[in-house]
Amino acid sequence: MIPNWLRLFALLENVLRLLAVVTLVVGLGASILVWRAQDKIERANGGAEAADPDALLSPLEDRKQLREVELYGGKGVVLMEEAKELLHGKPLAKTIAVVSVVTAAGLLLVTVRRTD
């Protein structure tokens, strides 16, 4: 006869495995959708943003500006500016894919059985 607590752990393992698979599939699907949407936007613009000299530059583009941002705001502000670049367009798709793979791997590692 199997104790109830052992059945509960087996059920929890199965739920975590299912959650890992769902996380992986949904995360990779979302990253593909974001990537394709950004491709459509880039094709529609025809590279107009790259040719626009009046386009706003990031504060991290110029070394002098980077130094001033770091001086007044500290490393945290610089890291936040770098993180902003990861949350738009194709870098966002890459970020979503990496986070979903790492999360799914973490959930699967929790469910690994250890034999004593």
Mean pLDDT, residues 81-96 taken together: 83
Would you say 92 and 26 are in contact if contact means Cβ atoms under 8 Å apart? Answer: no
Contact 101/95 with Cβ under 8 angstroms?
A: no
Q: Model confidence at 32, in pLDDT bands (50, 70, 90)?
A: very high
C-alpha span between 22 and 87 (Å, rounded):
23
pLDDT at 17: 93
Give the percent of the chain with pLDDT over 90.
34
For residues 107 and 1, give the distance between their C-alpha atoms in angstroms, rounded to a whole number. Answer: 29
CA proximity to 19, closest of 85, 102, 103, 88: 103
Q: Which residues contact 81 (CB under 8 A, 6 or more apart)?
A: 58, 59, 60, 69
Read off the pLDDT of each residue in 46-71 and give the average, rounded to a whole number.
66
